[in-house]
Structures are given as structure tokens and as C-alpha cells.
Amino acid sequence: MSNFFSYFLLTTTLTISLEKGSALQRLRVYYQWDILDYTYSTLEERVDAIYAKKFVPENNLPFGIEVWKDKIFITVPRWREGVPATLNYVTINDFMQERYKSPALTPYPSWKANEAGNCREGLTTVHRIRKDRCNRLWVLDTGTFGLGNNTRHLCPYTLNVIDLNTDEIVHIGKNCEDVFAYMSDELGYGLIAYSWEKDTSWRFSHPFFSPDPIGGDFTIDGFNFQWNTEGISSMVLSLPQKDGYRFLFFSPLASYREFAVSTKILRNETNVNNSYHDFIALNDRGKNSHITAKVMDDRGVEFFTLVDINAVGCWYSRLTYSPNFLEVVHRDDKNMIYPSDIAIDNNRNLWVISDQLTNYLYKSLEFTHVNFRIFTAAIDDLVRESLCGIY
């Protein structure tokens, strides 16, 4: 797995729910790929890249997703040799989508901006990305190449903010300065708060950031393995509370529990060393409920990916966080193997990317059939007749 899954946020177990949702398939496949390709200018340029091992198709795996207007942004971490671009996009085009479901990825914001090891201008490895209300894309470059013990640090960790209207790195946001980003340091078991206005950051430590020894056993697509070295892997902000602040909900990947803390605590650097009791442990979800990513819509419904059961779940945040109020809204044991990330667009559509990550890491992918998929559905259709639709 990666060394640093990160979120940029601005501003029995599911027993009843699993039985309700076991046959639900409400998300539709929008795009799918046997193997990834990129929009090289010419065929000769592509062939040269393959010959020089700058592009090794079978080593490219999509991981993170974000959606803005007609663009679906897709990250491809440089875990192996031959990943030409770590931040890319494809276009939402219903007409083309019906005829061509496997578009080539276009590097974003440019090929030059995706040069590995170019510490001044390039992106080396990006995992997760998030847009904000000011039409900016927040991108953390871990600066790493490789996996596990073979990881090399080519560049420092760098937080990049891209103006989506101009496709340029921005340093000043008009009327958008009072923004905070919250990032997870998975292997360091930390939570980092960054102030855009002050251009500074501070780091929290807490036992809740660590993997749970009881939650480190996984069985995905029939393959059993143990995975318990990483900290926080999924985070999401609640709607504003009465005091004007939000809750940050988070959980390590190797955990069956949700945790929370008010952003009132996180925004104050002086709380770094005296906030132990401000972090809250919510109820246990139970087994087979590992979460890789989560998002919350504008009505307070949290959606999350359930990798053990190839599913997407939901929770209406005005209700108690407990198995009785968690539901599965989509499950697909054939096509949704390892849903790795999730996003919501401005039209209240949910988007999910699945990539068979465990097969990529522990076994191998078969490139004679579809390996990667992007799913979508209108949120109102997903939550209809569920507890998440009672708002």
C-alpha cells in the first residue's frame, strides 16, 4: 500500500443492512478499462515511452477520484516503474460513453507537471485529491516512488493547490483565504491541519489514528491477508454544527470503528498537546466493514466504500452512528472489487472507482478482461427507500 493516503477537506456488523442491500446494484458502470492508456501526442511518442519503460501499461493502477464539471480526475500512484502521469482526467461525455467506455487518461494539468522527481514543478506520486467550493483542486504529492521497503523519496511532501478554471497552481485565493486542509500521515499515525491563510501546519497525535490489531484481517475477492500497518485512511467533514464548526469523521483502514473530532479543536495549534479527550470514539460497525474512503453530501448523508463486501454504504449523520443505521446502497461481488475512492459532483451524483488493488499488490491482474471501473448514480436514487433518504 501507499505510504501516505491523504484527504484534503475544506471545510452481527451491518447485519440488517447487509441483508437489505445484498442484491442492490443501483450504480451503473460509466467507464471501464482492461488496462490504462494515456493521450500521447503521437503513436511514435507512445511507442518510444514503452520502449524506454517510461510507460509500462500493466503497472498503472487508478486509485483516487474527484469530479468537477465535465472532468473526472483520476490518480495513478507511482508504486511501480512506468507510470507516465500520476494526476490525470477523463471527460464526462454521455454520447461518447455509450460508444467508447475506455478513454485514455490525459495528464493534468500537463505532461510537464507530472514529471517524477521534478521537485520544483512536477508531481511524483498522488493518491487522493479533493476539490473545494472555490473551484480549486487540493493535491498532496508524497514525492515517493515504489512500495513498502522499496519506497524511495524523490521529493519532499508537497501540498499543491490548482485553480480548476485556469489549470494553474495558485497561491492566493480571493475571498477563499480562510480555508483549512486536514491530511492524514498514515505510517506516522498523525493528523495534520493546514491553514491556507497563515500558510502553516501543525500535527496531532492520538491512539485513535493507529490501526486496530483486531481489525487487520481482510478477505477480499476470496483472498485472505493481513494489513495492519497504516493509520487514518478515510476522512470526511460533517455539515456545520450550531457553533459554526464541523466534525471531522475518520477511521484507519484496519479498524471497524468511526472516530470524530471538532474542527474547532483542529484549527487551533495550541490544542496539539492537550486535546486527548476531545477525540471521540463512535460505535463499532462490526466485522467485514473496512472503509477505504468516505464523502458527505449537502444533506448530511455520509457514503463510504466497503472493501470486504464490494459495496457502498451510507449513514444519515443526524442519526446515531450504529450498525442499525448503516445501510448498503450498492453491492456488486463481480464488478466492484476493491472500491478504492468515492466522490460527489455538483449535481448530486455519486462516483466510485474500483481497481482490484489487492490483486495488483498480492497476485496479478488479468488484462484480457475488465479490471478497473468507474460507477455513478444520482444520490436521490441511491437512498430512496433507505434510512439515508429520510431527510
How many helices (H) and strands (E) would you count in the chain? 6, 27
Q: Give the model's pLDDT for residue 187.
A: 77
d(C-alpha 93, C-alpha 116), whole Å: 30
Q: Give the model's pLDDT for residue 40.
A: 98
Q: Give the model's pLDDT for residue 177.
A: 65
SS percent in the chain: helix, strand, coil, step 5:
15, 35, 50
Q: Give the model's pLDDT for residue 251.
A: 96
Which of 219, 212, 382 minimizes the C-alpha distance to 314?
A: 382
**Cβ partners under 8 Å of residue 193, min gap 6:** 180, 181, 182, 201, 202, 203, 204, 266, 267, 269
Q: How many CA atoms lie within 13 A of 377 on its CB side?
A: 17
Judged on CB neighbours under 10 Å (0-12, 13-18, 19+), 52 is: exposed
Residue type present at position 144 = T
CA dihedral sign, ordered 331, 333, 335, 338: positive
Which of 306, 218, 224 minimizes the C-alpha distance to 258?
A: 306
Residues of the chain with pLDDT below 70 are 1-23, 96-99, 171-177
d(C-alpha 120, C-alpha 123), whole Å: 9
Asked if 328 contacts 309 with a C-beta cutoff of 8 angstroms, the reply is: yes
Q: What is the largest CA-CA distance in the chain?
A: 60
Q: Give the model's pLDDT for residue 246.
A: 96
**Cβ partners under 8 Å of residue 360, min gap 6:** 61
C-alpha pair distances (Å), 39 with each of 98, 330, 382: 20, 32, 33
CA dihedral sign, ordered 184, 185, 191, 192: negative
Q: Give the model's pLDDT for residue 11.
A: 45
Which domains occur in the chain, in start order?
15-389 (2.120.10.30)
Which residue intervals of 167-298 are DSSP H helices? 263-266
**Cβ partners under 8 Å of residue 108, min gap 6:** 71, 73, 85, 87, 88, 89, 114, 162, 167
Asked if 355 contacts 62 with a C-beta cutoff of 8 angstroms, the reply is: yes
d(C-alpha 312, C-alpha 291), whole Å: 9
Instruction: For 131, list phi and psi in degrees, rounded to 5.
Output: -90, 165
Q: Would the pTM of this model clear 0.85, i.e. be above it?
A: yes
